[in-house]
Amino acid sequence: MKKDTKNLIIDTTIALIQKTDGDPECITNRDISKEAGIAVSQINYHFQTKENLLNQCVQKMVGHMIQGLEGYLTHTADMTSLEKLESILNMIYTYLYENENLALISILTDHKTPTANDNTNQTLNVWKPLIIDICSKNNISNPNLISMLLIQSLQGVFLRTNLIKQELDIDLRNPIERKDFIHKTLEYYFGEIL
């Protein structure tokens, strides 16, 4: 019964997050309790804090998007690994900017309490084989380091979106500028083969 109640709370919270256009801060424990038909004390029992509940919900929602990336790769046989990587980065950044509140929670949670199965590592696991392939075919050393630096730099840039616009005059919320930024980032890492 405990697992069913916990899943009910998570599923209800995710549905409410989706109704608020991805702004989980608008949701109260009372909203969740009312929608799920349970007592607020059940939410507190299973998650202790609203922050813990929101973190688990956001991790699940973003994790679902990451699984979609894996499915996408099965349909890209005609693309090079570098083209696949650029395409995936564009998809990820589009998701981040379409879901800024969720992305912010996900990235900050991963940095605050990193785990082997957090969304950052799941994302790395999707694109690391591409980077390994790119590096092996082009005699570039240390693909694991490149993978880690790439994800950390892209997450950092996302977290500093407003400053990037002020300091570099790049509007990452603009899809065209964002796509150009991703291409230039890959040029920095793989310039000799782009």
pTM of the full predicted structure?
0.83
Domain limit, last residue, from 16, 31, 48: 48
Both 31 and 65 in a single domain? no
Both 9 and 74 in a single domain? no
DSSP string computed for 66-118 = HHHHHHHHTT-TTS-HHHHHHHHHHHHHHHHHHTHHHHHHHHHHHHHS--TTS
For residue 159, what pLDDT band results from cuts at 50, 70 and 90?
very high
Say which amino acid occupies 159.
L
Instruction: Look up residue 31 and give its two tokens.
Output: 């909203």
Query: C-alpha 128: how far from its chain's center?
Result: 15
- Cα 83–Cα 163–Cα 92 angle in degrees, nearest 5: 30
**Alpha carbons 172 and 151: distance in angstroms, whole number:** 16
pLDDT at 193: 66
Both 29 and 74 in a single domain? no
Residues 9-25 have pLDDT tens digits of 988 888 888 888 777 77
Both 31 and 73 in a single domain? no
Both 126 and 155 in a single domain? yes
Both 174 and 153 in a single domain? yes
pLDDT at 149 exceeding the cut of 80: yes
Range of the domain at 155: 57-193
pLDDT at 192: 66
Classify residue 142 as exposed, middle or buried by CB count within 10 Å of its CB (0-12, 13-18, 19+): exposed
Residues 38-50 have pLDDT tens digits of 998 998 889 998 8
What are the φ and ψ backbone dihedral angles of 44, each rounded to 5 degrees?
-65, -40
Residue 2: helix, strand or coil by DSSP?
Answer: helix
* Residue 158 Ramachandran class (φ > 0 left, ψ -120 to 50 alpha, else beta): alpha
Residues 99-110 have pLDDT tens digits of 888 889 889 999
CATH number at residue 25: 1.10.10
pLDDT at 3: 58
Range 46-64 average pLDDT: 86
Residues 110-138 have pLDDT tens digits of 999 999 989 999 999 999 999 999 999 99
**Alpha carbons 146 and 135: distance in angstroms, whole number:** 9
pLDDT at 108: 92
Domain count, the chain: 2
Both 141 and 104 in a single domain? yes
Both 43 and 94 in a single domain? no
32 Cβ neighbours under 8 A, 6+ residues apart? 9, 12, 13, 16, 43, 53
